[in-house]
Amino acid sequence: MPDRELPEHIRRQLSAGLDGGAPLVAPLPSQARFATLRGPMPAPRWRLRGLTVAVAAAGIVIVALAGPPQPRQWLVQSVNGISKQVGLPAGSSSPSPSHSESTPGEQGTSNESPEASETPEANESPEANESPEAGESPGEEQEQPDTSPTAEPSDGGGGGDDHSPEPSPSLGD
Amino acid sequence: MGAEGEATGAASRPGNRDDFDRLYRENYPRLLRTLYAITGDAAAAEDCVQEAFVKAWRAWPRFRPERAPEGWLHQIAVNTAISYRRRAKLRSVGEILRRLGRPGAGSDPGDAVTRSDVVIALAALPPRVAADFVLRYHHGYNNREIARLEGVSERTVGARLAQARDELSRRLGPDWRGELPTSGTAGVHFPRERSGVSDA
């Protein structure tokens, strides 16, 4: 579909309005406003910024991977210091990092483990009996007090009623 | 293509200063006229064209050569003029609010001297409508070339031109409605016939 055309006198009127109102004084490209920005092009600025970021990132990676392991040394030194304060030799403690990194409060609770023999509860354990005849089970000891570790073997089996066995700490309860 | 701003067909290398200078020389007249029709102010049009070339120069290294540089510059310039008109409208609203209660200052007498009725009527059109009208009837582009320049469909260009003719015929007279250039009716005016989208 053809578009409408303006009559010739209307075209002249349009051209007169546009040309007369805005006389065409085109400045030279060297006089244009953009010519004042011609020093550095934007692209090199972008490249410079990208290059700076790339160099910085590479430096961080190199320091992180190839530099001295400062955080690990600090960790080993601090663990050794803590173990010395507790009194354990540095090599005797468990090599597991969980033990070496435990706080002194946690180490106090580890002293209350069943391996300590002072607590009464620990004496009730079979490991608390130190006699070589302690191969019998604890249940048998409670049912047969004569066979307590404190009884002399030379007394014979019938003398058990004459003297009451010494109340050993394990039978006191 | 139009008489002004005709593309030479030379390849435009992004970031190349000589190519950008050539684009400036070739497109400046067309852009100045187009933006004058949008803004209605010669000084503002020149300022917008210069600002558009500043924006284009900053984006010139990232320009994609597969696109026509004339259309790229046209888009930048029209967008700059649209921003100018928006700011001018806000300024005028601010002026009206400031002058509330005071006697009216009237219009600038300089405007009456320099601005013709045609330019005032063109500046009252929507910016892209005014731009298409100037490209079509002043610079001599056809609808297909305008559509390619702006990246829109020919139908859109036709609708804009019809809208411009309607508005201008209401303001300036029925001759601005135009005539159909058919061979049998060449030179015959159809001033009262309404033109629509189908004209495209």
Chain A nearest-CA distance from B136, in A, is 9
Number of H helices, E strands in chain A: 7, 0
Q: Count CB atoms within 10 A of the CB of residue A159.
A: 12
Tens digits of per-residue pLDDT, A28-60?
777 788 888 765 555 556 678 889 999 999 999
Residues B101 and B55 in one domain: yes
- Please give the pLDDT value at position B66: 80
- Please give the pLDDT value at position A136: 46
Chain B nearest-CA distance from A57, in A, is 26
**Where is pLDDT greater, at B196 or A101?**
A101
Interface membership of B139 toward A (CB under 8 Å): no
Residues B122 and B73 in one domain: no
What pTM did the predictor assign?
0.53
CB contact under 8 A, B57 and A37: yes
CB contact under 8 A, B116 and A10: no
Compute the mean pLDDT over every residue in chain A, rounded to the nearest whole number: 62
Residue B154 lies in a domain: yes
Burial track A56-94 (b if 16+ CB lie within 10 A, e otherwise): eeeeeeeeeeeeeeeeeeeeeeebeebbeeeeeeeeebe
Residue B23 lies in a domain: yes
**Where is pLDDT greater, at A164 or B192?**
A164
Q: Tell me the helix, strand and coil percentages in chain A, rounded to 5.
A: 55, 0, 40
**Above 80 in pLDDT, residue A134?**
no
pLDDT along chain B (200 residues), means of 10: 47 78 89 91 91 91 85 92 89 77 56 71 93 91 90 93 93 86 47 35
Domain that includes residue B96, residue range? 12-112
Chain A nearest-CA distance from B129, in A, is 15
Residues B92 and B161 in one domain: no
Residues B38 and B83 in one domain: yes
Tens digits of per-residue pLDDT, A57-96?
999 988 877 776 666 777 778 888 888 888 765 555 455 5
